[in-house]
């Protein structure tokens, strides 16, 4: 007697194919870029000397890893992820210091012994700013509404992380912010004024044809 194959009520979960072709290429670039940032942070960690920078690196790494997982899930399934996107908060917000102070000129490191926190934080800032741009450019090309929202929500978070690194560098004197002379600055600040009154918008061609 031939055995009948057993049947179950379970149906395999298949990804929802609600993605555009261009979107797939963009998402592969985004996710590969996210992995690169995470791997670079892991490499940087062994060279960090300042505890404050180490705290920033660890908090940003953990946040980016959680958002990477959310992005992978919604991209793979095409559906709303099981976890909500999170908001990154700067731990210590301080006012920037403006002006230039004398400092040593920069040059490439001659060996690994020359690696300092100034360079590490600069690499971190470059990675975060680059990925923020990639997320922005990709989000406007994504057709899947869930994936688009997940990418778009991360842009502000990467801006916050970049600003946190900038504030750290600024406090340490690694990233100095020059200003213009007060008269030049005032002229630049006064170069634009608000629009007043109601603009007289022209009729479009269709409206004009009806009269």
Cα-based distances in Å from 206 to 199, 200, 201, 203: 20, 17, 14, 8
Cα angle 183-187-193, degrees, rounded to a multiple of 5: 150
Instruction: Please give the Cα distance from 151 to 138 (Å, whole number).
Output: 8
Would you state the pLDDT for residue 146?
Answer: 93
Q: Please give the pLDDT value at position 155.
A: 97
Residue 135: give its domain's CATH number: 1.20.1260.10
Helix/strand/coil for 178:
coil
Whether residue 200 lies inside any domain: the answer is: no
Structural domain includes residue 80 = yes
Q: Which domain holds residue 167?
A: 17-94+116-173
In a domain, 5, yes or no: no
Name every residue whose Cβ is closer than 8 Å to that of residue 140 and which is 6 or more positions away in sequence: none
Question: pLDDT digit string (tens) for 94-134?
Answer: 999 999 998 888 999 999 999 999 999 999 999 999 999 99
In a domain, 73, yes or no: yes
User: Where does the pLDDT of residue 153 fall: very low under 50, low under 70, confident under 90, or very high at 90 and above?
Assistant: very high
- The whole-number pLDDT of residue 1 equals 44
Q: What is the pLDDT of residue 57?
A: 98
3-state secondary structure of 209: helix
Residue from 52, 60, 45, 67 nearest 115 by CA = 45
pTM (2 d.p.): 0.86
């Amino acid at each position: 007697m031939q055995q009948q194959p057993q049947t179950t009520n379970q149906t395999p979960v298949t990804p929802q194919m609600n993605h555009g072709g261009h979107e797939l290429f963009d998402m592969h670039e985004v996710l590969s870029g996210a992995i690169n940032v995470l791997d670079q942070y892991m490499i940087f960690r062994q060279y960090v000397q300042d505890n404050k920078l180490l705290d920033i690196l660890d908090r940003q790494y953990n946040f980016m890893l959680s958002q990477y997982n959310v992005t992978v899930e919604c991209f793979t399934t095409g559906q709303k992820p099981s976890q909500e996107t999170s908001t990154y908060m700067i731990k210590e917000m301080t006012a920037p210091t403006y002006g230039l102070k004398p400092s040593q000129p920069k040059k490439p490191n001659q060996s690994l012994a020359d690696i300092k926190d100034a360079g590490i934080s600069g690499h971190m800032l470059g990675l975060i700013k680059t990925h923020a741009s990639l997320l922005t450019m990709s989000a406007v090309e994504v057709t899947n509404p869930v994936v688009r929202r997940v990418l778009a929500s991360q842009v502000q978070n990467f801006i916050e992380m970049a600003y946190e690194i900038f504030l750290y560098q600024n406090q340490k004197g690694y990233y100095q912010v020059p200003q213009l002379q007060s008269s030049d600055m005032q002229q630049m600040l006064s170069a634009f004024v608000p629009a007043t009154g109601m603009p007289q918008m022209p009729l479009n061609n269709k409206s004009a044809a009806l009269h």
